[in-house]
Amino acid sequence: MQGGYYTSGEFAKKANVTIRTIRFYDRQGILKPSKVGENGYRLYTDEDFGRLQRILSLRYLGFSLDEIMAMPMGDDADDVARSLAIQRDLLQKKIRHLESMNRALEDAQRMVGESRQVDWSRILHLIHITNMERALVDQYKNAVNLDVRIGLHRRFSHNPVTWFAWLASQIDFGAAKDILEVGCGNGELWRYVDPALIADRNIHVTDLSSGMVEDAMARGTGAAGSLHFRTEDCQELSYEDDTFDIVIANHVLFYVKDIPRALCEIRRVLRRGGVFYCSTYGREHMKEITDLVREFDPRITLSEVALYELFGLENGQAMLREVFGSVEKVLYDDYLLVDEADPLLDYILSCHGNQGEFLNQRRGEFKSFLERKIREKGGIRIRKQAGIFVCRE
């Protein structure tokens, strides 16, 4: 080791991996050396061990190289702690999955041994359990991406009242006894609701993704005793008619395949005099980020579809009035001023578009591009255009 750097061979030996592995990750662009010496030697630092550990762990847990490249890779203590928590959580889920697989294999083996016949329905069950691992990875990846996006807003928003705190303040819990949230994500909203307001309420926190529901349960809240978590599809709710006084859908409806059907279901489970609160974005929301990536590479699209076109501030009111008699729009006033490249890079990589195809191999170059823009402007100002619709009969 010289001057705080390891050669490729030293780095591989210290990490107990082959030098071919290090060279492979270098070629793939997922673990580039921290420095290239004048003699052409590729040099690594202690921080690179942290990156290597994350790569090897996430590979073991089922992530592809492309998925790993799109994940945050910060080096400070908070980033490392968050990464280790992420890995541990996913490992625990994989352990539960492997235990389930082991039980199913034991049952199938015992059945064949005792009857000398094959019950193909059990073999089909094994196939389903085996395929669940990919679903666990996808659910977890979605939860990590959601945390990245929430984190950017939390750190760089101008409005001291965060989105979730504002949203919670707009909901009139009043005399409502039964409350439903559809599309809860990681349950962030309930961290901002005063426990005293909902202490005696019956609250159902739901999402289509069982992984998201698990994450919401794990977060917990001060009013945990009031919350009931379950997997639900808002297009086909399992609840009876006239069950809830309030239904909440925070940035959810533009992901729903059949929005009119979902709205009818929500209206069905609302009691007479109940209120539906649903939030969405407008066409100008975070537009500067889209402009930035297109300036870097015009082929990049951060979303497969423009979500605001499916259900946005511009067209949502008309869609809601097909089901609800009164629809009031309330806007949230805020913007971001981002003066660090890494959180912005992580946010961009967490989006649902094709950015990974063009940025994974050019991550360092794109980060330099963002740093230059931040220096030129003293920070990147990003508009936020979001709000809620308050819907009544």
Domain spans, the chain = 6-53, 77-156, 163-392
Q: How many CB atoms lie within 10 A of CB 362?
A: 14
| Phi, psi dihedral angles at 320 (to 5 degrees) | -70, -30
- In this predicted structure, what is the pLDDT of residue 125? 57
Query: Which amino acid would we find at residue 301?
Result: T
For residue 320, the model assigns a pLDDT of 97
* CB neighbour list of residue 18: distance below 8 Å, 6 or more residues apart: 12
Residue 206 Rama label (left phi>0; alpha psi -120 to 50; beta) = beta
For 104-155, the pLDDT digits (tens) are 777 777 777 776 676 666 566 555 555 555 555 555 566 667 677 888 888 9
- The CATH number of the structural domain formed by 163-392 is 3.40.50.150
pLDDT attached to residue 334: 95
* Residues of the chain above pLDDT 90, percent: 43
Mean pLDDT, rounded, for 258-269: 97
Give residue 224's pLDDT. 45
pLDDT, greater one: 251 or 222: 251
Closest-CA residue to 197 (of 174, 224, 214, 225): 174
Enumerate residues 6+ apart whose C-beta is below 8 A from 185: 146, 207, 212, 216, 250
Residue 38 CA to residue 43 CA, distance in Å, equals 11
Average pLDDT, the chain: 84
- Contact yes or no for 380/374 (Cβ under 8 A): yes
Please say whether the beta carbons of 180 and 204 come within 8 A: yes
Give the range among 99-108, 287-296, 356-365 with minimum mean pLDDT.
Answer: 99-108
For residue 298, the number of C-alpha atoms closer than 13 Å in the C-beta half-sphere is: 0
CATH architecture of 6-53: Orthogonal Bundle (1.10)
User: Looking at per-residue confidence, does 271 or 41 come out higher?
Assistant: 271
- Map residue 7 onto helix, strand or coil: strand
* pLDDT reported for residue 137: 58
pLDDT in tens, 59-89: 877 777 776 776 666 666 666 676 677 777 7
pLDDT of 355: 86
